[in-house]
């Protein structure tokens, strides 16, 4: 998460119960044949009925509501009247059938990131810099001959808003970066990344922002965390500098509010931080992980196979690090995968079907085992 910048710069580089009954009308709506073309490719055997949901700009980090009927995501689509990433939502059934302008839920001020539905279905959380500055913070400029960089804006805090865009609660107010928040499928906990310790570590808190606990404590960028389907584990990306030179470089960038995300691996731990395990040992950038509905596999984005690092595809791997399988094959950028809570759908971002532009759009497909 904190990652829309990577989709814009991929050619440079390279985060409620489901018990409500479905009405007859809702069933009919979901069964309606989409008017959009099926973009599924035969080489992507796990994806069926692949449909495009957005058109233009950089659209990413789309996450399902607990009842699987809505998506919340961030976009910088200039056609929607924004100057940098803001948070939007729409009904999936409508977006699958037609090109729609989604509803903006963020304030329109500052920069936002990493939205997620709350368990009640009527609220979302997201990170925003609008209290620090109403203007969009400056984009980091790549250093000549240097690595690709992400900005860790100190003005980020985590907010809760209703589906009319009204902020109803501020969950963090510590100095420094607080963002990349996601919610446990159990609906009781939130995990997020913060610099409050002086490093980029994972923390959890109750759904109301209380009982904050630090989860990781090793030097390096720990971020983009998600809970397992039963809420007992976390999966996340991490850069863990080892040599004196790597450590000095990491600390130097962090002091400037920057991170170089070119060397990251996938880790898991229990929700309390115990039993930390490194899952991938692939090299380069492995990130945007999410648990498979079984809770036994992890899907993620990686450029480990790319000689120049330009191409990102989705891969899946067992929790023990075995059984690596490539999921996507099309275009040079695929990331931010999330399975619906019922395990039937997958949503992800890709720059396929963009008519030769650098646009990154959201796609949804039926998941096939």
pLDDT for 309 equals 82
What are the extents of the domains in the chain? 4-15+39-367
pLDDT of residue 127: 98
Chain position carrying tokens 């039926």? 366
pLDDT of 172 reads: 98
Give the model's pLDDT for residue 8: 44
* pLDDT at res. 130: 98
Residue identified by tokens 């961030």 is 74
Q: What is the pLDDT of residue 36?
A: 81
Q: Given this model, what pLDDT does residue 35 score? A: 61
Can you give the pLDDT at residue 140? 87
**Is this model's pTM higher than 0.85 or not?**
yes
- Per CATH, the homologous superfamily of domain 4-15+39-367 is TolB, C-terminal domain (2.120.10.30)
Q: Spell out, as residue ranges, where the chain has pLDDT lower than 50.
A: 2-34
SS3 assignment for the chain: CCCHHHHHCHHHHCCCCCCCCCCHHHHHHHHCCCCCCCCCCCCCCCEEEEEECCCCCEEEEEEECCCCCEEEEEECCHHHCCCCCEEEEEEHHHHHHCCCCCEECCCCCCCEEEEEECCCCCEEEEEECCCCCCCCCCCCCCCCCCCCCEECCCCCEEEEEECCCCEEEECCCCCCCEEEEEECCCCCEEEEEECCCCCCEEEEEECCCCCCEECCCCCCEEEEEEECCCCCEEEEEEECCCCHHHHHHHHHHHHCCEECCCCEEEEEEECCCCCCEECCCCCCEEEEEEECCCCCEEEEEECCCCCCCCCEEEEEEECCCCCCEECCCCCCEEEEEEECCCCCEEEEEECCCCCCCCCEEEEEEEECC
């Amino acid at each position: 998460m904190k990652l829309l910048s990577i989709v814009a710069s991929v050619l440079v580089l390279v985060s409620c119960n489901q018990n409500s009954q479905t009405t007859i009308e809702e069933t009919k709506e979901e069964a309606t044949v989409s008017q959009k073309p099926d973009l599924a490719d035969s080489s992507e055997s796990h994806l069926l009925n692949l449909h495009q949901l957005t058109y233009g700009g950089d659209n990413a980090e789309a996450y399902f509501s607990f009842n699987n009927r809505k998506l919340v995501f961030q976009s910088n689509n200039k056609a929607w009247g924004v100057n940098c990433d803001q948070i939007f939502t729409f009904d999936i059934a409508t977006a699958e059938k037609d090109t729609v302008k989604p509803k903006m839920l963020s304030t329109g001020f500052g920069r936002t990131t990493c939205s997620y539905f709350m368990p009640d279905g009527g609220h979302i959380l997201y990170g925003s810099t609008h209290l620090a500055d109403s203007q969009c913070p400056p984009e980091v400029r790549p250093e000549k001959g240097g690595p690709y960089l992400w900005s860790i804006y100190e003005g980020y805090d985590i907010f809760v808003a209703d589906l009319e865009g009204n902020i109803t609660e501020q969950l963090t107010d510590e100095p420094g970066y607080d963002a990349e928040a996601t919610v446990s499928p159990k609906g009781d906990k939130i995990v997020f990344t913060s610099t409050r310790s002086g490093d980029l570590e994972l923390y959890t808190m109750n759904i109301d922002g209380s009982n904050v606990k630090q989860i990781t404590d090793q030097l390096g960028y720990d971020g983009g965390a998600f809970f397992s389907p039963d809420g007992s584990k976390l999966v996340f990306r991490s850069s863990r500098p080892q040599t004196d030179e790597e450590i000095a470089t990491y600390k130097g960038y962090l002091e400037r509010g920057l991170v170089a995300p070119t060397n990251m691996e996938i880790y898991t731990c229990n929700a309390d931080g115990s039993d930390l395990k490194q899952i991938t040992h692939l090299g380069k950038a492995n990130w945007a992980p999410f648990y498979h509905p079984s809770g036994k596999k992890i899907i993620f984005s990686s450029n480990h196979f790319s000689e120049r690092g330009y191409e990102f595809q989705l891969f899946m791997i067992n929790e023990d690090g075995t059984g690596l399988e490539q999921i996507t094959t099309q275009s040079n950028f695929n990331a931010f995968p999330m399975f619906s809570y019922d395990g039937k759908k997958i949503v992800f971002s890709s720059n396929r079907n963009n008519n030769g532009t650098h646009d990154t759009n959201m796609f949804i497909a039926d998941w096939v085992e």
